[in-house]
Copies of this chain bind each other. A is one copy, B any other.
Amino acid sequence: MLGPARNVCVWRFTWRRPSLRLFHRKCHMSIEELHPWFLGAYAENHDVLEDLLTEFLADHVYWRRNFHPECRPPVPTSAQYRDDYIEFVAELKQELFQLSADLKRSVPWFSPRYVGHMSSDLLLPGLIARVMTTLYNPNNVSEDASPATLEKELEVGMQLAEMFGYPIDESAEPCAYGHLTSGGTVANYEGLRNLIALEMYPMALAQASREFDGELGPMGPLVKRLTEYSDWELVNLGVDDIIALRREALGSARELHGPAGFERFRKAIKAARFEALGAVDFFRTHSELKPPVVLVPSTAHYSWEKAMKVLGLGAQHLLEVGVDRNMRMDVAQLRTVLEQCLDQKVPVLALVGVLGNTEFGTVDPIGELMNVRDEFSERGLHAPVHIDAAWGGYLASVFRAEGGGLVGRDMLKKKFHYFPSQTVYEAFAALGRTDSITVDPHKLGYVPYPAGAYVARNRGMIEFLTQEAAYVFDIEEESHQRSLADKLRHLGQYILEGSKPGSAAASAYVTHRVLPLHHDGFGRILQQTIRSCEYFYDAMPEFKERVGDLVNLTIPFEPDSNLVCLAINPRANDSLARMNCFGRRLFEHMKIDPKQPIQQREFVASYTSLLAERVSDERAAELLGELGIDPASLTPNPSDAEGQADHVFLIRNTLMNPWLLHEQNGKNYIDLYLDYLERIIRQELEG
């Protein structure tokens, strides 16, 4: 779906080269503040790491020794002098030296010379917590395998929820919840799976009430009998309404028909649910109902298509909403798609907004998206909203004031040249209105892999997800009577995964404790990354001039935060295919090659592609025009290998390293990067 550009580019007309010193002064903070937070580009803070790891390693050792010290340890002190012991340790060392040697080929995430994928230096709190907890090896599937870390995982969920503006008062309803996953992909699966469980539930409830031989009375938001709701009404209830409806229906059954009637009703619901029947039989039973669709911006991460396939929903039911000139979901097109869904009575299982696109770094206009969503809810089509903030989620800390509330846009604007645009500001301000969010602590949270997270606004959701396992969970407990907070202590019952590392929870938890998720805590790191991006952007006019004899160059999309792409075309070339080829040759200098020592690299970047089908003709004409390329050469079906191509090759720079603006001899790493870029451009073109 292509469409006209809507947003005005607020960055475009303000190119200027700033003085770094002035810049810092303007921002009321300096890079110095970050000095002790990370291990460091040269492991400058290694003594902190080493001291603390040694300390807590000893602490773990003595912990073991305090558990029944009355027994003689199974490994005698004489063991270490035995031949087999010595041989084993020698063999172990040999293998570890080999591993250590191999690891030297690792990607230098830590370095400000790495501006490629979404990884960087590690925060000391998260790194140390991760390592020390690994020694204890807790399993956060359930509290009896992780007495210390499961509560921390739930707390991390609440810390993230607060950052997003979700309600976090456990004594009130709704109250949010969240937990860690192995990564954003699984969190996205969980987002969809939870919405299926909720959105399909009212159909099962109505079905069960038809089969139920007792009265239940009017209920739900439309205050009528369940059997009087139309299918379309049932699949268009909001998350909070569904949670309330379930309680109302079960409560009514219990009240009017006693425990036996209640149990009968509960079994009838269970048997009628999507989860019991499977997609095929559920939609055979409800043959009037169309299978639901999921809406994403056309730039969404590939895991969304994977999710549709894995969950059996089908890739064809993933509807891509076109994007505007800056690769943000186009709200006019969203409206068109929703209008079609309403018209054709196609349920929308989820409307997915992307907060920090992984290819272009852009932020969907979540504020407008929520408004459109609400408009359509009024008209009978309710689309639950899940935000894929795997990349950009932590940026919310910049917008959150200490103690809650949003930082005003005016105050924010004082700290930056352009950031945040009105749309971006409204996107972050609207997060609290959405239903659930994916966020990756192992991306902009600067903690080690694996750490993704799923956060939902209303924890009542978990009542729809229960799994019973005799040996993990006590089947004796009356699960519906326990409070939701207690239930979550059996986390494995409510999530996709089973066994999971408590060390990931400890890592995120300690990080958030030391650097709270607000503007003046964790937000400072991300402010620094945005400033790096603005510096990069501001340096472009001069850089364009410097290399203007050789190439045309442009930043194709206004950066929304800290990721910026570059399109580069040799002067006098008008073939898109050749331009892409040139881009790839440049990238050869800056890519990770497992067969080469990383020390040979001066800078490491990544790349992405702007696909023909994702850009409007108008936008393509403008962009390729700037580069001196014939716009007609961008086509979804290239027939001419010399000229045409189905994509525009872009150098992609993720500017998340905290040290990018560190200055030496009057130059920071972005200056050095641009110098390097000039050098390889000249090398390629001047030979």
Q: Is the pair B124, A276 in contact by a Cβ cutoff of 8 Å? A: no
Give the residue name and chain of the B residue nearest to A71 (CB).
B664
Question: Given A67-B599, A106-B138, A279-B280, are A450 and B59 neighbors across the interface (CB < 8 Å)?
Answer: no
Q: Is the pair A659, B74 in contact by a Cβ cutoff of 8 Å? A: yes
Copies in the complex: 2
Bound CA span A438–B49, Å: 37
Q: For the complex, is A573 an interface residue (Cβ under 8 Å from B)?
A: no
Q: For the complex, is A467 an interface residue (Cβ under 8 Å from B)?
A: yes
Q: Is the pair B182, A500 in contact by a Cβ cutoff of 8 Å? A: yes
Bound CA span A148–B73, Å: 37
Q: For the complex, is A128 an interface residue (Cβ under 8 Å from B)?
A: yes
Q: Please give, as numbers and ranges, the residues of chain B lying within 8 Å of A93 by CB-CB distance.
A: 52
Q: Is the pair B99, A129 in contact by a Cβ cutoff of 8 Å? A: yes
Q: Is the pair A75, B136 in contact by a Cβ cutoff of 8 Å? A: no
Bound CA span A124–B57, Å: 14
Tally of contact residues, A, Cβ under 8 A: 176
Q: Is the pair A137, B96 in contact by a Cβ cutoff of 8 Å? A: no
Q: Is the pair B311, A311 in contact by a Cβ cutoff of 8 Å? A: yes
Bound CA span A56–B186, Å: 32
Q: Please give, as numbers and ranges, the residues of chain B lying within 8 Å of A225 by CB-CB distance.
A: none
Which of these, B63, B183, B278, contacts A314 with CB under 8 Å? B278
Bound CA span A472–B308, Å: 19
Q: For the complex, is A32 an interface residue (Cβ under 8 Å from B)?
A: yes
Q: For the complex, is A145 an interface residue (Cβ under 8 Å from B)?
A: yes
Give the residue name and chain of the B residue nearest to A511 (CB).
B95
Bound CA span A128–B291, Å: 50
Q: For the complex, is A536 an interface residue (Cβ under 8 Å from B)?
A: no
Bound CA span A499–B449, Å: 8
**A to B CB contacts below 8 Å, 7 in the list:** A66-B599, A67-B599, A99-B509, A119-B139, A310-B496, A312-B312, A442-B499
Q: Is the pair A448, B503 in contact by a Cβ cutoff of 8 Å? A: yes
Binds B, one of A167-175, A299-307, A412-420: A299-307
Bound CA span A124–B96, Å: 11
Q: Please give, as numbers and ranges, the residues of chain B lying within 8 Å of A73 by CB-CB distance.
A: 40-42, 44
Binds B, one of A84-92, A372-380, A421-429: A84-92
Q: Is the pair A41, B64 in contact by a Cβ cutoff of 8 Å? A: yes
Binds B, one of A109-117, A330-338, A397-405, A539-547: A109-117
What per-residue 1/0 map shows which CB atoms of A275-315 lie under 8 Å from chain B?
11111111100000001000000000111011011111111
Bound CA span A320–B599, Å: 57
A2 to chain B, nearest CB (A): 18
Q: Is the pair B67, A57 in contact by a Cβ cutoff of 8 Å? A: no
A149 to chain B, nearest CB (A): 8
Bound CA span A235–B189, Å: 27
Which of these, B99, B275, B308, contacts A133 with CB under 8 Å? B99
- 13 further A-B contacts with Cβ under 8 Å, apart from A92-B124, A279-B280, are A39-B64, A41-B73, A41-B75, A46-B58, A64-B111, A131-B131, A144-B592, A186-B186, A275-B314, A277-B314, A448-B503, A471-B606, A471-B652
Q: Please give, as numbers and ranges, the residues of chain B lying within 8 Å of A133 by CB-CB distance.
A: 99, 103
Bound CA span A377–B91, Å: 47
Which of these, B46, B130, B452, contacts A499 with CB under 8 Å? B452
Which of these, B314, B359, B499, contacts A280 with CB under 8 Å? B314
Bound CA span A48–B514, Å: 32
What per-residue 1/0 map shows which CB atoms of A119-160 lie under 8 Å from chain B?
100101101111111111111000111111101100000000
Bound CA span A189–B274, Å: 18
Q: For the complex, is A594 an interface residue (Cβ under 8 Å from B)?
A: yes
Q: Is the pair B471, A186 in contact by a Cβ cutoff of 8 Å? A: no
Which of these, B111, B146, B183, B509, contacts A106 with CB under 8 Å? B146
Q: For the complex, is A264 an interface residue (Cβ under 8 Å from B)?
A: no
Give the residue name and chain of the B residue nearest to A607 (CB).
B471
Q: For the complex, is A105 an interface residue (Cβ under 8 Å from B)?
A: yes
Which of these, B64, B96, B138, B358, contacts A42 with CB under 8 Å? B64
Question: Given A64-B110, A71-B664, A499-B442, are A302 and B95 neighbors across the interface (CB < 8 Å)?
Answer: no
Q: Is the pair B68, A113 in contact by a Cβ cutoff of 8 Å? A: yes
Q: Is the pair B607, A144 in contact by a Cβ cutoff of 8 Å? A: no
Bound CA span A340–B31, Å: 70
Q: For the complex, is A102 an interface residue (Cβ under 8 Å from B)?
A: yes
Give the residue name and chain of the B residue nearest to A125 (CB).
B92
Which of these, B132, B135, B271, B593, contacts A127 with CB under 8 Å? B135
Q: For the complex, is A662 an interface residue (Cβ under 8 Å from B)?
A: yes
What per-residue 1/0 map shows which CB atoms of A464-477 lie under 8 Å from chain B?
00011111100100
Q: Is the pair A449, B500 in contact by a Cβ cutoff of 8 Å? A: yes
Question: Given A84-B36, A105-B148, are A499 and B111 neighbors across the interface (CB < 8 Å)?
Answer: no
| Interface positions of A from 440 to 455, Cβ below 8 Å from B | 440, 442, 448-450, 452
Q: Please give, as numbers and ranges, the residues of chain B lying within 8 Å of A440 by CB-CB distance.
A: 499
Q: Please give, as numbers and ranges, the residues of chain B lying within 8 Å of A606 by CB-CB distance.
A: 471
Q: Is the pair A132, B448 in contact by a Cβ cutoff of 8 Å? A: no
Bound CA span A105–B193, Å: 34
A602 to chain B, nearest CB (A): 8
Q: For the complex, is A501 an interface residue (Cβ under 8 Å from B)?
A: yes
Which of these, B49, B498, B501, contacts A57 with CB under 8 Å? B49
Residue in A36, A146, A496, A509 whose Cβ sees the most chain B Cβ within 10 Å: A36
Q: Please give, as numbers and ranges, the residues of chain B lying within 8 Å of A315 by CB-CB distance.
A: 275-276, 278
Q: For the complex, is A598 an interface residue (Cβ under 8 Å from B)?
A: yes
Q: For the complex, is A185 an interface residue (Cβ under 8 Å from B)?
A: yes
Bound CA span A503–B513, Å: 25
Q: Is the pair B145, A117 in contact by a Cβ cutoff of 8 Å? A: yes
Q: Is the pair B117, A470 in contact by a Cβ cutoff of 8 Å? A: no
Q: Is the pair A498, B92 in contact by a Cβ cutoff of 8 Å? A: no
Q: For the complex, is A631 an interface residue (Cβ under 8 Å from B)?
A: no
